[in-house]
Amino acid sequence: MKKIAAIGAVALVVALSVAAAAALRRDSGAPAMPTAIVAKTTFVDFLQLRGEIRPVRSVVLTAPSSGSDLQIVELAVNGSKVNAGDVVVTFDPTQQQRTLETKQSELKQAETEIDRTEAELRRRVASAQSELDEAKKALQRARLELQGNELRPRIEAENFVIAASNAEEHVRELEKKVEGERMAAQADVAIARQKRDKARFDVQDTERIMGSLDVRAPIAGSISLLPNFRSGGPGRAAPEFKRGDRAWFGAAIAELPDLSTVQMTARIDEADRGRIQLDSSVKVRVDAVPDRELTGTMKDISVVAKLDFSTFPPVRNFDIVVALADSDPRLRSGMSASARVELDRLAGVLVVPTAAVFQRGAATVAYVVAEGGVENRQVTVLRRGRDQIAIASGLKEGERVALKDPEPEGGAK
């Protein structure tokens, strides 16, 4: 029995080998051809875009717009969390401290000058007033002398009249002098006070500048350091700001993004501008978060095209914004992302890959692969997309079509 079983096993192996060899010869006679199944499904045409993730709301922390020697001496670590009011960037205050000391000294000198000028005002006015008082007394004596003129000789009486007139004139001159001294002294005091006010403003402005050297976070969040474009160069990306760097007035140093709501920004070529519409459905994949697909809608398309000098010759692009319906805690501002913008959708149509349809002169054909061979069949295209083609007629659901032209020279078989 064992011998019979062994003989049967050997015969079975031989038979299987013969069948495999025959199949191999049959397959080698016909070259392998990639194919696809005609499926009745939803046709979706889309546009592929590249862009980056940006927060809907964010606060950019900038260098002061005044001062000098804006050297960074303290800087928060990129990605670190801060609370509202925490210092994020500190600039070197040495120069402003020296300026403040100089301005404070000038303020003290101006205040002292006011006191000195006011004292001089009182002295000059008092001196003129004293001289005026003496002149008024002399006028009173002259007027008393006039009372006995009727008993004096005519010439002597006229001399007393002239003396009284001169005394009156002298009083009027001194009254003008007192008023002039008072006005001149007040003008000197006003000038001194203007110098004091200017010095006080300089002190307050320097104190304000010193306060602005500590850049604080207005809201809580995670710090995102921005690139220092002055440290970059041809062919290399600009590095992030770091301690020791010197900033310029108004330079954007860091960003505090609110990542609870994010969006994607990108650019599209002007040739594709007419193909997309607002509120179109968009699927977004972030390079750093490959295990999740985010959904969104086309929120905004710029009205004016901008020149893109990253290529030569430069092309015109439109800025677009994709609003994302959901977020992810792993997202960070500036992450690269790709998007598929839905351009068209047809439900319940026959769909084949774009590689399955060929042009033969004026006719559009597909090659149906069956056991009997390959059939050249004319088809009517309903809608053509980037990866798929919707077929109106010429194919049936479940048929297999070739993805490679079996007639490379255009000859009929």
Q: How far apart are CA 72 and CA 226, in angstroms?
A: 14
What residues contact residue 250 under an 8 Å CB cut-off, 6+ apart? 62, 63, 65
Tens-digit pLDDT profile for residues 114-160: 888 878 777 777 777 777 777 777 777 766 666 665 655 666 666 66
CA atoms of 313 and 127, how far apart (whole Å)? 86
Structure-block tokens of residue 300: 């905004």
Q: pTM for the full model?
A: 0.49
- Note every long-range contact of 169-174, with CB atoms under 8 Å and residues 24 or more positions apart, other chains counting: 170/135, 170/138, 170/139, 171/132, 171/135, 171/136, 171/139, 174/128, 174/131, 174/132, 174/135
SS3 376: strand
Residue-wise pLDDT tens digits, 56-65: 888 889 998 8
Tens of pLDDT along 2-52? Answer: 555 555 554 554 455 544 444 444 444 445 678 999 999 989 888 888 999
